[in-house]
Structure 1
């Protein structure tokens, strides 16, 4: 069904900014290499973690172009294409350039709060025009609406090019219902680092990660051990990340992971309003946690 193997770990790349808030392409290039060298399985551009709503259309185009060029066909690339205006996304899918892109990730419409039938009709409209496989993205904590398991399964069974869901509802019962009743070839991916291990144990395919930006090698190893069925080893590894994952979201995403990457020397600790950098207290906790993780390698 899919042109991309979604088993493993994708990383939702941040967008690094310079002190003047312009996109820092040098830092983005370093980050892409760091992810690939860390053993992740695919790159995700223009997701939530990329601060995509604050990027202009030209910047979004240039960021994707740059990632494609820097990646140089080393890993599959997924690109976020989402809006609460169905007609706008349909148009974008028709006219955008998707060469070297393996799949699109599309978030449920936000703010409008459509019902389940509205969600179904929205994604069906996208599926009819998308030149690439579609990954659904359910993140009710940000969008204000939860796409229920029945709707996800209805889409999976009726739209051949809808090939996966990134589930960030935090509802393991809902996630298990999708896993247990999905059609062959439909992937269920965690959108939450904190439940990635549990989702894989339940039969899911992996994670689209935030933490992977900062710790690609370490988090990839845990995910790959879990997928190989080595749950004891993976569970022990996963326990190391509990505090780091909490810190990612203490001051909001991507403030936490940008703070980590800044302390590691990869980027400037810059975000675009309305988001702001992590506070001094969180920054100190991040420094201490990174030191602790180094000691427990």
Structure 2
């Protein structure tokens, strides 16, 4: 699964002031990332505000990104939920011909057992031939998928090819790296841990901040994958503050503020999210001005 090694970015959904999708800004963002070293693009993840995107908008977003990308980078599409039958239905009915992989979040709210997680992803794996990247983010889903469950899925289903691990738990990363099948990818979902995980044997990152600084962030990850830790950490230390800033209040309000300062899009978000506070906007503006 060489397509998913390196830096993937979890694209935001830009909005206009009236909160309609700003497709012109989306095209600008996609081209900016393609032209500056990003390795693959992730559509409709958490950072895209997928919880407040309509079905019609989701299809429009896919269409615009596919057209803009024009085959230049691999594309990963977020399809997940806590209603297994509905997720299976989307796997089977959505046109995935231009999509290289599926990112599927651990079921949220319902708080399944580990066996429930396994059976959910078993049903998904059996519903498609597309590569599936599991997405464990217990801070949002309310329950952790334990390494033993992830590894069981990795061993049992050939099209479950990777996990985006976003528990911010370094020990859990190490357990996955130590015991994973040889061709199974451990992808960081934590921007602050992306470099340490790459240096420890991970396969890269699906990043939030990477879409704002694609050249620097993708270079850092590539250096990490090559074991060039000193050069990689030089970049990491330059970006530490802004990584903290974008998650200080909520995601994607923080990253949208960064992108606003870079004149790529507005910082509008849909309720129940709200824009970054004035104090945070000022910190981000100062960082961008001096980066």
Q: TM-score, normalised by structure 2?
A: 0.99
Where does residue 194 of structure 1 map in the other structure? 192
Corresponding residue for residue 21 of structure 1 = 19
Structure 1 residue ranges (4+ consecutive) displaced by more than 3 angstroms after TM superposition: none
**Residues 76 and 102 in structure 1, CA contact (< 8 A), matched pair in contact too:** yes
Identify the match of residue 250 of structure 2 among 241, 249, 252.
Answer: 252
Q: d(CA) in 1 for partners of 2:168 and 2:263?
A: 32
Match of 1:276 in 2: 274
Contact 1:98 1:131 in 2 (8 A): no
Task: Show the counterpart of 1:5.
Answer: 3
Query: Is structure 2 residue 77 aligned with structure 1 residue 89?
Result: no
Deviation at 1:292, TM superposition (A): 2.5
Q: Give 1:78 deviation, angstroms.
A: 0.2
Q: Which runs of 5+ in 2 are unaligned?
A: none
Q: 2:155 aligned to 154, 157, 163, which one?
A: 157
Contact 1:93–1:131 (CA under 8 A) maintained in structure 2: no
2:73 to 62, 72, 75: 75
Aligned counterpart for 1:132 among listed residues 130, 133, 155: 130
The 1-side partners of 2:221 and 2:250 are apart by 24
What is the aligned partner in structure 1 of residue 53 from structure 2? 55
8 Å Cα contact 2:129/2:159 also seen in 1: no
C-alpha separation in 1, matches of 2:158 and 2:266: 42
1:172-183, aligned counterparts within 5 Å?
Answer: 172-183=170-181
1:110 to 108, 111, 114: 108
Alpha-carbon distance between aligned partners in 2 of 1:47 and 1:58, rounded to the nearest angstrom = 16
Inter-partner Cα distance in structure 1 for 2:198 and 2:38: 16
Give, in angstroms, the shift of residue 111 of structure 1: 0.3
Aligned to 2:234: 236
3-state SS of 1:150 partner? helix
| Structure 1, unaligned runs of 5 or more | none
Residues 133 and 161 of structure 1 are in contact (CA less than 8 Å); yes or no, is this contact kept in structure 2?
A: yes
Offset at residue 287 of structure 1 (A): 0.8
Deviations 1:166-224 (A, max 9, x none): 00011111111111111121000000100001111110000000001211111111111
Shift of 1:291: 2.0
Give the paired residue count. Answer: 291
Give the structure-1-normalised TM-score. 0.97
1:267 partnered with 2:265: yes
Once superposed, what is the RMSD of the aligned Cα atoms? Answer: 0.8
